[in-house]
Amino acid sequence: MNQTKVADLTIDEFRSLIQDVVTQTMSDLLRDPEHELELNPDIELRLRESLAEYKTESSLLDAQSVADKLDIAW
């Protein structure tokens, strides 16, 4: 294990270290914890049916229409 001290780093090495730490931290924070999980087949079917209904349903309103009906500034 390398026992280099921060004080022994060059400015470029220090910048690189900080960049690596920030990149790793952001990656950890933004990763999808469910990425490798499989979706239950019943839930997948319900989601697909819901999406198909959404695409064909003519009574759905967009956000602007809802805001207009509720007299909300959008």
DSSP string, 46-60: HHHHHHHHHHH-TT-
14 in any annotated domain: yes
What pLDDT is recorded for position 37? 80
Report the alpha-carbon distance of residue 16 to residue 14 in Å, rounded.
Answer: 5
- Tally of domains in the chain: 1
* Structural domain that includes position 46: 7-31+38-69
2 in any annotated domain: no
Maximum pairwise Cα distance, the chain = 67
1 in any annotated domain: no
For residue 46, give the 3-state DSSP assignment.
helix
What pLDDT is recorded for position 66? 83
- Residue ranges in the chain whose pLDDT is less than 70: 1, 57-60
57 in any annotated domain: yes
Residue type, 28: D
Are the beta carbons of 74 and 64 closer than 8 angstroms? yes
What pLDDT is recorded for position 1? 57
